[in-house]
């Protein structure tokens, strides 16, 4: 089957940016629909779930965070959300992830970067494969919680699975230590520093000696997964 272009819904109140993105997506064989306010954008996303929703944070009507929350609460399937934000503040990003965004881009961004993120998001959440998260030889079955790397099943505890899923869903981005802590313990502060222990156990299972390591420590940033293919 030939893979046709993506159907992208862009919710963005800047008409200039809408025009730029229309040209960008169309020139790469994708189809883009537009909404200029949050309420309309949410309705469109619910009526005809797009392959990727590109969602501005600051919007009239409902803001991007509200749109994202409502969508997560009401949609019967996972619509990948790429949040656009003009504010490069950690708090905004964390709020975006809390609201259920899958990825974010800080304005101004390059068209190539936006396209690449949209394609990556749609691949990770492709309909019909929605239960499997795949990165290189790593396959996470979201429904059963089974994880394998190539032919080898991984024996992960609940925390290890949680961390790995968060990293896989963020891929290829890094997650900061505080994002990982929030994944495990929400807003409750963790006992002491068990994140390190959980990461150690995860790494031991995921990256045994002799294989190319997938769990990477990004100095001064946090952790990310790297594909092994």
Binding-site string for Ca ion from residue 4 to residue 23, where x marks contact by CB under 5 A and - marks none? ---------x----------
Contact pattern for Ca ion over residues 124 through 143, marking x by CB under 5 A: --------------------
List Cα–Cα distances, 59 to 19, 42, 82, 84, 191, in angstroms. 17, 12, 15, 11, 39
* Residue 194 is a binding residue for Ca ion (CB under 5 A): no
Taking the complex as a whole, how short is the minimal distance between the CB of residue 78 and Ca ion, in angstroms? 24
Task: Candidates 57-65, 95-103, 152-160, 184-192: pick the segment binding Ca ion (CB under 5 A).
Answer: 57-65
Number of residues engaging Ca ion in binding (CB under 5 A) = 3
In terms of Cα–Cα distance, which of 101, 117, 122 is closest to 7? 122
Which C-beta is closer to Ca ion: that of 86 or that of 127?
A: 86
Does the footprint of Ca ion cover residue 56 (CB under 5 A)? yes
Q: Residue 111: name the closest of 3, 40, 30 by CA.
A: 30
Helix (H, G, I), strand (E, B) or coil at 56: strand
Q: Given the complex with Ca ion, which of 41 and 222 has the nearer CB atom?
A: 41
Q: Does residue 92 touch Ca ion according to CB under 5 A? A: no
Alpha-carbon span 48 to 79, nearest angstrom: 10
CA 223 to CA 131: how far, in whole Å?
Answer: 23
Taking the complex as a whole, the smallest distance from the CB of residue 81 to Ca ion amounts, in Å, to: 15
Whole-number Å distance between alpha carbons of 52 and 81: 6
In the bound state with Ca ion, the residue whose beta carbon lies nearer, of 56 and 102, is 56
Which residue of this chain has its Cβ atom nearest to Ca ion in the complex? 58
Stretch that binds Ca ion, among 48-56, 99-107, 157-165, 220-228 (CB under 5 A): 48-56
HEC letters along 157-226: CHHHHHHHHHHHHHCCCCEEHHHHHHHHHCCCCCCCCHHHHHHHHHHHHHCCCCCCCCEEEECCCEEEEC
Among 5, 33, 58, 142, binds Ca ion (CB under 5 A): 58
Residues of this chain that interact with Ca ion (CB under 5 A) are 13, 56, 58
């Amino acid at each position: 089957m030939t893979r046709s272009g993506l159907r992208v819904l862009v919710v963005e109140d800047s008409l200039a940016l809408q025009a730029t993105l229309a040209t960008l997506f169309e020139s790469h064989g994708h189809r883009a629909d537009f909404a200029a306010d949050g309420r309309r954008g949410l309705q469109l996303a619910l009526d005809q779930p797009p392959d990727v929703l590109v969602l501005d944070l600051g919007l009239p009507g409902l803001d991007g965070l509200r749109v994202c929350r409502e969508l997560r609460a009401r949609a019967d399937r996972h619509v990948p959300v790429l949040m656009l934000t003009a504010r490069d503040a950690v708090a905004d990003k964390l709020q975006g992830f809390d609201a259920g965004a899958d990825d974010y881009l800080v304005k101004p961004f390059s068209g190539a970067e936006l396209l690449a993120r949209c394609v990556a998001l749609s691949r990770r959440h492709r309909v019909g494969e929605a239960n499997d998260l795949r990165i290189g030889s790593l396959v996470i079955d979201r429904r059963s919680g089974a994880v394998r790397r190539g032919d080898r099943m991984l024996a992960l505890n609940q925390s290890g699975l949680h961390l790995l899923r968060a990293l896989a869903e963020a891929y290829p981005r890094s997650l900061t230590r505080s994002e990982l802590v929030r994944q495990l313990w929400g807003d409750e502060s963790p006992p002491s520093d068990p994140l390190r222990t959980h990461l150690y156990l995860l790494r031991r299972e995921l990256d045994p000696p002799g294989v190319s390591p997938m769990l990477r420590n990004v100095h001064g940033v946090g952790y990310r997964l790297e594909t092994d293919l």
